[in-house]
Amino acid sequence: MPELTEEQRKQLEEKIKKMSPEELKEFQKQQCIFCQLISGKIPSKKVYDDEKCIAVLDIAPASKGHLLIMPKEHYAIMPQIPDKEIGHLFLVSKYLSQVLLKVLKVSGTNVFVANGAVAGQRAQHFMLHLIPRKEGDKIIEVEDKLIDAGLRAKVKELVEKRLKTLLGVKEEKQAALPKGEQNVPEEKSVPEEESAETKEETAEPDAEEETAAEEKVEEKPAKTTKKASKKSSSKLSSSKKNKPKDEPESAGDASLDDIANLFK
Amino acid sequence: MKCEYCDILERKSTADILYEDNEVIIAIKDFSIAPGQLTVFPKQHFTIMEMVPDDIIQKCFVLANKVSVAIFESMGAHGTNIIVQNGLGAGQKVPHFAVEIIPRREGDGLNLQWTPKELSEDEKETSYLLIKEEGDKLVDIGKKKEKKEVSPIVTEKISGLNGKDNYLLKSLKRIP
């Protein structure tokens, strides 16, 4: 809400801080033009509608037939959405992409999601863009470039541990992690047992990293997952602290709150 | 046929593999749009999104969401973009369906934002009617997805769309 004065903004922030998670969600919903569009209070050109989501034509399209696919439930950011709904939304995008290819005679489609204002997210209602493309239309122009091997190694080092925790992959030689400690929802889509096995067969290049991680792990094996997530989130959540939690799906991840609050 | 992504999973490439299971792989490619980019793709070779079975599509994007969260939390990113370049016209370089997750930071110099296009009322209305007609036929995808088969429309479309540059068609013939 950029048009508010400094004082109004402060008042609003105060008000928001005092809200319970339920109130906050309701408040966001009332403010959200896409929720109004879904409920039909704002007119739109709807091309698909089911129990969980709708697809409408974008009013400021990148090209003819540019669609927005959004969940009917209000989610400000993607990490709040349960796996099942993510799966459904993107499945719908697959079928609608097929429709676009067929009826618009285009030679491709982009599925595009922006998470966070810096990535181009403008609304506080999660949506995915489906953009019909033709060669030479210059809509999303990106070039692949060679990423330096040192940089890639750094990326791997940074992200691997957290990613494996999120995916429920157990670290090698540390199989006795109690089920309850893993913060992966009980979705069938990620077969934990299998993936852990394949990983054991295939992972050897990062032995150094693993031993470093293991040293810490061995002290309190049962708490590893929690520790890891606390560590990473505390890094990012330095700026704002006592924030209302409105994220049932990912309780405890303060950094996600930060991202959600970018849109307040 | 040479496919860079099949090379990755056969360990014939310098790309780093972060995760793999029976169906899906997460890798750091050596050629990317931006540093820190991760790629999720199915192990089986599917050229475009329309050819990928429903459960694999769902899994790819569920994983992409988790990758996105991991990037937020561990790389100090301020946001992420999740992009699929589906088909030649959409900038697809490798004939193997993939989901790219790109970390974003303030002032990273990436421009992925399009400029809105001015369309005539007529254009808007015709495309709306055309899409809606087909969209209505889809009814509830979640409910009837088991029955629905995907391939026919795609095959038709692809053969119609490019006479010259035809990896799409070749790989279609390859798929059982």
What are phi and psi for residue A126, nearest 5 degrees?
-60, 135
Contact A122, B38 (CB under 8 A): no
Contact B61, B99 (CB under 8 A): yes
The identity of residue B76, as a single letter, is G
Specify the fold of A46-133.
HIT family, subunit A (3.30.428)
d(CA A174, CA A80): 29
A151 pLDDT exceeds 80? yes
Alpha-carbon distance B83 to nearest alpha carbon in chain A (angstroms): 5
Q: Which of A62, A117, A163 sits opposite B19 (nearest CB)?
A: A163
What are the structural domains, with CATH classification, of chain B?
4-106+119-174 (3.30.428.10)
Using the Cβ of B147 and the Cβ atoms of chain A, whether some distance falls under 8 Å is answered with no
Q: Which residue of A has its CA nearest to B133?
A: A47
d(CA A38, CA A66): 17
Using the Cβ of B89 and the Cβ atoms of chain A, whether some distance falls under 8 Å is answered with yes
Count other C-beta atoms under 10 Å from residue B35's C-beta: 17
| Mean pLDDT value across chain B | 83
Q: What is the pTM of this model?
A: 0.70
Query: pLDDT for A25-38, tens place per residue?
Result: 788 888 899 999 99
Q: Record the tokens describing residue B121, joined without a space.
A: 């009322």
| Annotated domain spans of chain A | 46-133, 151-201+213-261
Beta-carbon separation of B28 and A104 below 8 A: no
The pLDDT of residue A202 is 42
Alpha-carbon distance A83 to nearest alpha carbon in chain B (angstroms): 6
Q: Which SS3 state, helix, strand or coil, does residue A48 take?
A: strand
Q: What pLDDT band is residue B150 in, cutting at 50, 70 and 90?
A: very low
Residues of chain A in contact with residue B18, where contact means CB-CB under 8 angstroms, are 156, 159-160, 163-164
Residues of chain A in contact with residue B139, where contact means CB-CB under 8 angstroms, are 50
Residues of chain B in contact with residue A107, where contact means CB-CB under 8 angstroms, are 87-90, 161-162
B162 pLDDT exceeds 50? no
The identity of residue A173, as a single letter, is K
Q: Which of B18, B104, B123 sits opposite A116 (nearest CB)?
A: B104
Q: What pLDDT band is residue B167 in, cutting at 50, 70 and 90?
A: low
The pLDDT of residue A23 is 85
DSSP secondary structure letters along A70-131? EESS--SSGGGS-HHHHHHHHHHHHHHHHHHHHHH--SEEEEEEEESGGGT--SSS--EEEE
Residues of chain B in contact with residue A131, where contact means CB-CB under 8 angstroms, are 90, 114
Using the Cβ of B134 and the Cβ atoms of chain A, whether some distance falls under 8 Å is answered with yes
A5 pLDDT exceeds 80? yes
d(CA A15, CA A13): 5
Could you give the ipTM of this predicted complex?
0.80
Higher pLDDT, B118 or A260: B118
Alpha-carbon distance A13 to nearest alpha carbon in chain B (angstroms): 21
A174 pLDDT exceeds 80? no
Residues of chain A in contact with residue B114, where contact means CB-CB under 8 angstroms, are 62, 131, 139-140
The pLDDT of residue A14 is 87
d(CA A151, CA B29): 11
Torsion of Cα atoms, A160 then A165 then A168 then A174, to 10°: 90
Torsion of Cα atoms, A92 then B26 then A180 then A198, to 10°: 120
B3 pLDDT exceeds 60? yes
The pLDDT of residue B172 is 52
The pLDDT of residue A106 is 94
Count other C-beta atoms under 10 Å from residue A39's C-beta: 10
